[in-house]
Homo-oligomer: A and B are copies of this chain.
Amino acid sequence: MKGLRRRPTDAELAILRVLWTRGPSTVREVAEVMGREAGYTTILKLMQIMTEKRLVRRDEAARTHIYEAAYTEDQTQRHLVTDLLDRVFDGSAAKLVIQALAAGKTSPEELAEIRKLLREKVRGTESAGEDVRGAGAPGGNEDRRGRQ
């Protein structure tokens, strides 16, 4: 239970989703968005635990605390993908991509987008050889930021 970086649970992810779309929020606000997905105190407790785990940050200045996701959606997505890559794809991104495309119905627009991205990426890889950064991931998240 130490400061090991582990993956968020399903319930935690549900809360993070709200935090990502709404931005910094109170427990009540999160609870309202989630509807009857879970009770108020359940969400409160979860968010308290997430604070301990450093999954969210809490502003206790006012009586009603304000919570904020500690990691961006991009960072979390990347973390989770990396995890899945290691656990079941033997680290091969190609295999994962293949399954992702085989699994869901991907729209032609999405396919086009992916191809475009790949073209850019190939250019970058060929010239730089190793350095992979700089081609992808729209939304500006270059920071990789230390562990805990």
Contacts and interface: CB of A to CB of B under 8 A. Distances in A.
A77 B55 CA distance: 27
A96 interface: yes
Chain A interface main SS type: helix
Interface stretch (A27-35, A60-68, A109-117): A109-117
A89 B77 contact: yes
A2 B87 CA distance: 25
Nearest to A130: B105
Given A88-B76, A94-B106, A106-B93, A101 B136 contact: yes
Interface of A: 10, 13, 73-74, 76-78, 80-82, 84-85, 87-89, 91-106, 108, 110-115, 117-118, 121-122, 125-126, 130, 132, 136-138
